[in-house]
Structure 1
């Protein structure tokens, strides 16, 4: 009897694991690859800083790791499409801008002030993380600018009723 139930037990466990991991389509997309790189680099910086004498800076990589992991999960499971109350691209943009600036500052301090090898490694991975976060906020900024430009062009195409002296509130 146990042999019959054994193959069925592996099925739900495998599907539960697949529901947590991002889909292959999202992971191979540009946004997915950037988020995976941000998660990995933040984790490596966290580990290097925790093992170094520059352990005072360990909070920033940990918070960025958790934020990038949350957004990776949200975008991969389309969680962001269910909650329209948040402006997801703007939140992601602000996260990337602050992360790039803070990683740049921490990396410069870790490389110049501390002499141990793990501080230097954390600084180098921090510089790479700065580039990845900067690339991500540049791409998000371009998408937001194109979205706003398209919205402005669609508003200009509509005929204006205000030229006649009437507006929607006057017709009531």
Structure 2
């Protein structure tokens, strides 16, 4: 008799997992694709640094992976809309600026100072991550500059998800 309930026992855990994963609309938006790329590149860089002789640099990709993963989950579940006290675009901008600068520095060091293949791979993925983070902070900067040019006329802060959804429809 207990076998009848066994197939349904996985339903609650699947619903929790599906609620954390980004929606198809957000994942196909520009911001969603950038955050997914940042998560993936930071994780790959973390694994490469962990396997290399340049393991001292493993902290940066790990922290950036966790920060990008948090923002991916926050934006996809609209967690940021429930907490208006934080300046989400500014926090995201600062995260991207610092990540691009630090990834660029450790990638140069990893490629030039260390000779093993995993250090070189970590440097290459770090350079790619630098480009993705720099593109993200450039887009956030343009969005914030446009918002400030308008004089902050709207009552709420600029919502990137709504802008990104309309941008992805027009592309």
User: Could you say which TM-score interval applies, normalised by the shorter chain?
Assistant: 0.7 to 0.9
Q: Which runs of 4+ in 1 moved over 4 A?
A: none
Aligned to 2:128: 128
**Matches for 1:1-172 after TM superposition, within 5 Å:** 1-151=1-151
- Give the distance between the partners of 1:124 and 1:42, measured in 2 at CA: 12
Gaps of 5+ in 2: 155-171
Q: Hey, what's the Cα distance between the residues in 1 that align with 2:104 and 2:141?
A: 19
CA deviations over 1:111-139 (Å, ceiling 9, x no partner): 01100000000000000000000000000
Structure having greater relative contact order (Cα 8 Å, sep ≥ 6): 2
Give secondary structure in 2 for the equivalent of 1:49.
helix
**Which consecutive unaligned segments of at least 5 residues does structure 1 have?**
156-172
Q: Deviations over 1:77-130 (max 9, x none)?
A: 111111111100000000000100110111011001100000000000000000
TM-score with structure 2 length normalisation?
0.86
- Larger Rg belongs to: 1
In 1, distance between residues paired with 2:11 and 2:119? Answer: 44
1:3 to partner: Cα distance = 3.8
| TM, length-normalised to structure 1 | 0.85
Number of aligned positions between the proteins = 154
Q: Deviations over 1:22-75 (max 9, x none)?
A: 111111111111001001100111110011111111111111111101111110
